[in-house]
Amino acid sequence: MAQQHSESEEVKSKASLEFFMHSLSMEPPHISISTMIPTTSWFTPKRLLGIFCMINMLNYLDRGAIASNGVNGSKGTCSKAGICTSGTGIQGDFNLNNFEDGILSSAFMVGLLVASPIFASLAKSVNPFRLIGVGLSVWTVATLCCGLSFNFWSISVCRMLVGVGEASFISLAAPFIDDNAPVSQKTAWLSIFYMCIPTGYALGYVYGGLVGSYFGWRYAFWIESILMLPFAIFGFFMKPLQLKGFVPANSEKTLVPETVVSGVQDESMALAEFIDQSSNGHFRSKSGTKIFDQFSRFKNDMTALLLNKIYVVNVLGYIAYTFVLGAYSYWGPKVGYNIYHMTNADLVFGGITIVCGIVGTLVGGFVLDFMTNTLSNAFKLLSVATFIGGAFCFGAFLFKSMYGFLVLFSIGELLVFATQGPVNYVCLHCVEPSLRPLSMAMSTVAIHIFGDVPSSPLVGILQDNINNWRMTTLILTAILFPAAGIWFIGIFLRSVDRFNEESEHQVSTIERSSATPLLQEKTGETPESLAQSQEC
């Protein structure tokens, strides 16, 4: 026993000495990630995906609810005989004209577009998991205040703040999911997450109609606030996760092995602190310089994104695609009523959207994983699915029969929705890990500014001039073909999956640890075997 004890002490001493010598030469040894990222018995990757899906569902349920008749309502009218009917919902209570009502439905975009790049940039200096907690707290308070609003301007400001709260989530959730998804199922996991967009929107129509009709439109916002509150608290009180490619706070302390004796630990920590202070102390002393550094970093990151041909081509195709789908979601029921005289157009289009959205989005993710989830294969799937789906939708609007239209349009939407997983997979994997939050944020900003925000009014202007809904929708649907063409170009561009780029070229243990999945379900695999499987 004494001999074994002495051998154990000798091994510890050698390990301590080796660690200290490596720290002096700035080449730290490999440290198992299991000693640095604590796990809980229940917080697994699948549960993380489930939580993020529920949050995403609530975000889009809110969008569908404010567009529903039960919440949005209608303005009061008076007949020629002098008989007046009072308005309903938000539009009736605040006596909004159609222009004000249209602004109200898109007001959250202002907060979303302004705050998305800010949250993405802050992720480099503040733990991203905590940023999601802050954003969801803003969202919770904002929806509560929507129900307490008293005029057009008060509810408009509240809707903008809803967008600010959502901004933290949309730019950071997808990178977290991509970090923790199995290598062979990354697109499928992203597809499950983005499936919540059409599902939440469709459920919002039903939710807003029921709650608004029976209890009043204010209760719809109050119930949303209550439903989101546990997730906001979760963001603050759960042990925060760290995104791949980002250096966690107090990382030096976290990375010191337990086997290092206190004297060596103090010396290595002092050395690291001295180096850090000598290189950055002068700049951190002035708050003005800090702000300048933040803007400089943001400018450099934006330049890197704009010079990335794969990213630019992907987003351009996404803009054209979103332009069409945004107009479909707004004008679809009206088109169905005017062309095919559907008395229940809201229900028909809502049903098609939710079914095709769920099935199409899931199928697209699983198909790309089956093909092997590479950037080139993603562009192949994006271009083919969009082209064929656009052809079916275009043919649907040529049909005079309502039943023929419904069959072809359903197939077309099924194929079009199959792009949701692959397009976001490209956004995440064509940039280095530290740029992924900004990549997702700027992609969202671009598709809204140039896509669904202007598409609805532009289609309205086109219809006012043509006065033919069939021709208007055919022109709109034809935009899906240029979208497919743009994505087709991406197949021939030189593409490199940069998901593991930083972990392959870095020299810091801190950065190396950030490249490893953060949540690992309990299996018999060792960290070394997991790393080897990822490299394969």
To the nearest 10 degrees (0 to 180), the angle between helices 217-237 and 196-214 is 130
d(CA 338, CA 470): 9
Per-residue pLDDT tens for 41-62?
567 888 888 999 999 999 989 9
Closest among 452, 332, 470 to 462, alpha carbons compared: 470
Query: Among 157-171, 288-302, 352-366, 448-462, which is the least confidently predicted range?
Result: 288-302
Alpha carbons 430 and 438: distance in angstroms, whole number: 12
pTM, full prediction? 0.71
Rounded to the nearest 5°, which phi and psi values hold at 84? -110, 145
- The verdict on 325 and 238 lying in the same domain is no
- Quickly state the pLDDT bin for 502 (edges 50, 70, 90): low
Q: Do 218 and 309 fall within a single domain?
A: no
Q: What is the DSSP string of 120-170?
A: HHHTTTS-HHHHHHHHHHHHHHHHHHHHH--SHHHHHHHHHHHHHHHHHHH
> What DSSP element (H or E) covers 85?
strand 84-85
| Burial (CB count <10 Å: 0-12, 13-18, 19+), residue 477 | buried
Give the range of the structural domain holding residue 194, as residue numbers without chain letter: 44-73+93-243
- Same domain, residue pair 387 and 494: yes
Residue 205 near residue 346 (C-beta atoms within 8 A): yes
Q: 79 in helix, strand or coil? A: coil
Question: Residue 505: pLDDT above 50?
Answer: no
Q: How deeply is 388 buried, as exposed, middle or buried, from its count of CB atoms within 10 A (0-12, 13-18, 19+)?
A: middle
Specify which residues 191 forms β-bridges with. none
**Is residue 314 domain-resident?**
yes
Beta carbons within 8 Å of 354's beta carbon, 6+ residues apart: 198, 199, 202, 203
SS3 52: helix
309 in the same domain as 239: no
For the stretch 393-444, pLDDT in tens is: 999 999 988 899 999 999 999 999 999 899 999 999 999 888 888 898 899 8
Using pLDDT thresholds of 50, 70 and 90, give the confidence band for residue 28.
very low
Percentage of residues in the chain having pLDDT higher than 90: 30
The answer to whether 129 and 77 have CB atoms below 8 angstroms apart is no
Of the candidate ranges 273-282, 376-385, 405-414, the one whose mean pLDDT is the lowest:
273-282
Reply yes or no on whether the pLDDT at 195 is more than 60: yes
Residues 221 and 345 in one domain: no
- Give 423 or 327, the one with higher predicted confidence: 423
Reported confidence tier of residue 24, pLDDT bands at 50, 70, 90: very low
> Within a 13 Å sphere around the CA of 444, how many CA atoms are in the beta-carbon half?
29
Range with the lowest mean pLDDT among 111-125, 198-212, 286-300, 503-517? 503-517
| Statement to judge: residues 55 and 190 lie in one domain | yes
Please tell me which residue, 499 or 407, carries the higher pLDDT value: 407
d(CA 98, CA 79): 18
Checking if the pLDDT of 38 tops 60, the result is no
Average pLDDT, the chain: 77
Q: What does the alpha-carbon distance between residue 500 and residue 512 come to, in Å, rounded to a whole number?
A: 10
Same-domain pairing of 346 and 463: yes
Number of domains present in the structure of the chain: 2
Residue 527 lies in a domain: no
Instruction: List alpha helices for 215-261, DSSP H.
Output: 217-237, 251-254
pLDDT band at 373; cut points 50, 70, 90: confident
CA–CA gap between residue 192 and residue 333 (Å, rounded): 26
422 within some domain: yes
Q: 213 with 118, same domain?
A: yes
Q: Which of 262-276, 406-420, 467-481 has the lowest mean pLDDT?
A: 262-276
Q: Let me know if residue 275 belongs to a domain.
A: no
Per-residue pLDDT tens over the stretch 205-230: 788 888 988 899 999 999 999 999 99
From 423, 319, 312, 315, select the one nearest 361 (Cα to Cα).
423
The DSSP output letter for 431 is S
Residue 533: per-residue pLDDT: 41
In this prediction, residues 498-513 reach a mean pLDDT of: 50
CATH number of the domain where residue 231 is located? 1.20.1250.20
- The per-residue pLDDT for range 283-323, each reduced to its tens digit, is 445 566 766 677 788 788 889 999 999 999 999 999 999 99
With a cut of 80, say whether residue 335 has pLDDT above it: yes
Q: Which two tokens stand for residue 36?
A: 């640095």
